[in-house]
Structure 1
């Protein structure tokens, strides 16, 4: 990442830190907010949304209403891997960190948005390649350990249509884009904090072995799956904050994911 890119990151970074030092003194939080756009790149949890086969749909039960009880309240049940969610290393690596054990500093970082939407439009089973990652680096500089890599396939446009999003064929095999093992190995070598994608899984739809999951999670990184539309994010220069619920011992958790984009 070049010096200008890091300067662009200063605004969303200082937004989180409450202001920054400048030549003339301090930039107020209000001034920083005024120059920063915040985009929600996660889907809301609903009772009707696509889930990976075998996953748990959200269900909600009304417990009280304002009219009857003076307050509105519900109980809800949801799977650890329902909706926009984080896969902790423990999801596929025995003895690895659970979602509540992820270091908080790893849940925020500069976003590297790798756009393969045109390729995915031509091939539903497209797998992000080493060349895709290296092309991003040629334009934006080398990936750093602080980066969170977000894969834009364009699949979010199919949400919440379960049939189109899962894209199963007549045999029940899913077809959606994912990350190749070679690209996963490169990202592991770069020691990036996490990989996010706007599909049901970082492994391509037809995968039955989840090799990419096993590889990347065993290296200590995490996944973010079912991201919402990433088209508002620049390839470089946004800052992402990932907010999973700290479920003790959790293999993962639904998450709110926010992107801070300097204007």
Structure 2
């Protein structure tokens, strides 16, 4: 496949041909055959005008410009912020001179998913911060986190979507309360050189943290975030292969994205 052609595809098949070799699941068939029969789950939310956004974010604006009845075709104009809905944070979001979203190579926007489940901890503490112990417990059971991994934090918070009041969970003082990652956990993942971190909440930083310490730790190292993921309960701890497809926005600090999880046919 020609290199130029690969760039035209929203989720290049060439990048997926190593899926069965890196997903942690052994298969005795050609990668292309495995992919043809894979179960594909979209783990993102659709963009809507009433979905939850981070305070100060630009909501989706939609204006009809043409209708089939009037113009012979249907077309709309969209206005949207770079960080609404399910979206990718590029390194440039918190580091001057770092890669914007269009410079994240297709090679890094995919990889085997490492799903870390902290739903039990979050059930008793909405401000729960993922710890190094949570990540090390995953590694003891499933093996070391590797540079090709995309780590997904399953908190169960997606069940509150699209109710913005419940999703932000803001108290009387204006402080939001939802789970995220501790800076110590972020440092461990940066040391493991994982490609990205995804979470099913409004931010990878926990709600009460207004200084974005986790963002400031992880993004300048070249990794990316995926925020506002949808329900992750169908994904196993290992075995899923992710393809992340943010809008190809030049110099963007981030962009809304489709996120696809490929699961072995037998799963």
| TM-score normalized by the length of structure 2 | 0.88
1:16: which partner in 2? 16
Equivalent of 2:125, from 115, 123, 148? 123
Q: Secondary structure at the match of 1:182?
A: helix
Shift of 1:181: 0.5
Would you say how many aligned residue pairs link Structure 1 and Structure 2? 247
Kindly indicate whether the alpha-carbon contact (under 8 Å) linking 1:19 and 1:27 is maintained by their aligned counterparts in 2.
Answer: no
| Deviation readout 1:162-192 (Å, 9 max, x if unpaired) | 0000000011100000000110000000000
The secondary structure found in structure 2 opposite 1:224 is strand
Structure 1 match to 2:44: 42
Q: Which residue of 2 aligns with 1:88?
A: 90
Q: Which residue of 2 aligns with 1:52?
A: 54
Whole-angstrom CA distance in 2 between matches of 1:64 and 1:125:
46
Q: Distance in 1 between matches of 2:242 and 2:18?
A: 16
Q: Aligned runs of 1:102-121 on 2, under 5 Å?
A: 102-121=104-123
Equivalent residue for 1:5?
Answer: none
Q: Return the match for 1:100 from 99, 102, 111.
A: 102
- Indicate the residue corresponding to 2:80 in structure 1: 78
Q: Distance in 1 between matches of 2:39 and 2:230?
A: 16
Q: Which residue of 1 aligns with 2:182?
A: 180
Deviation at 1:104, TM superposition (A): 1.2
Partner residue in 2 for 1:133: 135
CA distance in 2, matches of 1:160, 1:128: 23
Distance in 2 of aligned mates of 1:236 and 1:17: 18
1:19 Cα deviation (Å)? 10
Alpha-carbon deviation of 1:17? 3.0
User: Contact 2:59–2:80 at 8 Å: present in 1 too?
Assistant: yes
1:11-30 deviation per Cα after TM superposition (whole angstroms, max 9, x unaligned)? xx889339999xxx97484x
In structure 1, list runs of 5 or more residues that go unmatched: 1-12
- Work out which of the residue numbers 159, 162, 178 in structure 1 matches 2:161: 159
Report the Cα distance in structure 2 between the residues aligned to 1:69 and 1:78, rounded to whole angstroms.
25
What's 2:244 paired with? 242
In 2, the alpha carbon distance for the partners of 1:193 and 1:20 equals 18
